Each structure stands twice: as C-alpha cells, then as structure tokens.
Amino acid sequence: MVIDDDPSILITVAEILRFEGYEVATATNGADGLRILEQIQPTLLLLDMRMPVLDGWGFTQTLRERGITLPVLIMTAAQDARRWAEEVNAAGYVAKPFQLLDLIEAVEQFQEPPQSE
C-alpha cells in the first residue's frame, strides 16, 4: 500500500509498482490509510511522512497501538530521512526525488514481484 498526500506522486508510485506486477492500494493520508487497513492486509507500506490529517508519525504510532506489524518504507524529501526512518522504526527509506529503480529495488528487498506476464 502507498500513502502520500501528493496525488501525482501517489499515482506515479502506484503505476510503477503495478507495472512491475504488484497489487497496489493507495491512500492520501494516515487516517485514510488506517481505514483501508481494516479491509486489506498489505505486505508492505510505502509511507510519506509529512501529511495533513494524520502524518507518518501518528500513523505508525497507531499501527503499533493496534498491534499491526508490517514492514514500512518511508518516502520523504526531508534531509534527515534516515533519522525519521529510525524514529518510526521503519524498515528503510527512499529519499525524494527518487528514481524509478531506487523505488523498485527498495520494494524488491521485501517482496519479489509476482511473475509478470
């Protein structure tokens, strides 16, 4: 699942991953993401940090409170991406502006894409 409040980035990331054969769900903020998580169980979360309504920190805290464990990759344009990743106990980070292969490689560390056609 991808969570980002910038619609262009959200769609682009989703498209890239879908093109690689992943199934992708999207959400535009943390609260939106939590609602969707009640219906699906994704294997990996791509999470923007600075978002309205519920930001990355609030979102990961709620995950912990609800006992949901799943690997999180944070996507951020901030300079201290590494520190933020540690703060929310994320599995890794991709720094914006990332290249297509950065994204794909980061995701593949957690999950190989299903065999594409």
Q: 13 or 90, CB closer to other proteins?
A: 13
Q: Does 67 bind other proteins (CB under 8 A)?
A: no
Interface pattern 21-60 for other proteins (x via CB under 8 A): -----------------------------xxx--------
Q: Please tell me the distance from the alpha carbon of residue 35 to that of residue 74, in angstroms, as a whole number.
A: 19
Strand order in the sheet with 45-48: 26-27, 2-3, 45-48, 72-76, 92-95
Q: Please tell me the distance from the alpha carbon of residue 62 to that of residue 96, in angstroms, as a whole number.
A: 25
Residues at the contact surface with other proteins, assessed by CB under 8 A: 5-6, 8-9, 11-13, 15-16, 19, 50-52, 77-79, 96-101, 103
